Amino acid sequence: MNPPLIIVMGVSGSGKTTVGQLLAARLGLPFYDGDDFHPAANVAKMAAGHPLTDEDRAGWLAALATDLGQWGAAGGAVLACSALKEAYRQTLQAGAGAPLSWVFLDTDVEVLRARLAARQGHYMKADMLDSQLATLEKPTYGLHLTDDAPPATLVDQAVAQLHLPPAGA
């Protein structure tokens, strides 16, 4: 059996980081946040209120794809990543070298807006949400969770539905 490589995906404010961190802790895997891997130019562009283009994302996605392969070889990982388009997900899958498990957090738009408006110190602001929603191609595969439960409950659902062993099992 391949080590688990799990991507928790969705638009900004969907809870990817929170759910991803809890899921990684439950499984005893390292957690990585895709936001931490953006080059400075991407962060500056988003902080200035400009959405990223496919070209802006290409190098970032290629680097994450390479990292996924390394993380898989090292025993698995959980990555929080927007992975908004199918082409982006295909890039990530191609670099992983093993099947990825996808957890899509499908969150109500008004909840997203409220979360982003309340964020402090993050470059992704509430006024950028519309561009992410317009770019989002919801996957037709993977686990779809609606963000109407506490994060710990979402993690319970992910572990059960993806048939993932807890840490130390």
Cα atoms found within 13 Å of the Cα of residue 58, Cβ hemisphere only: 4
Tell me the three state secondary structure of residue 86.
helix
C-alpha torsion angle, residues 156, 104, 44, 65 (rounded to 10): 100
Predicted pLDDT of residue 169: 55
Mean pLDDT of 135-149: 91
Residue whose pair of structure tokens reads 């993050």 in the numeric block: 122
Q: What is the pLDDT of residues 99-138, one digit of tens each?
A: 999 999 998 888 888 877 776 655 555 567 888 898 999 9
**pTM: predicted TM-score of the whole model, two decimal places:** 0.90
Res. 3 pLDDT band, cuts 50 70 90: confident
Tell me the average pLDDT of the chain: 88
Q: Kindly state the percentage of the chain with pLDDT values over 70.
A: 91
Geometric angle at alpha carbon 160, from 159 and 161, rounded to 5°: 100
At 127, give phi and psi (nearest 5°). -75, -5
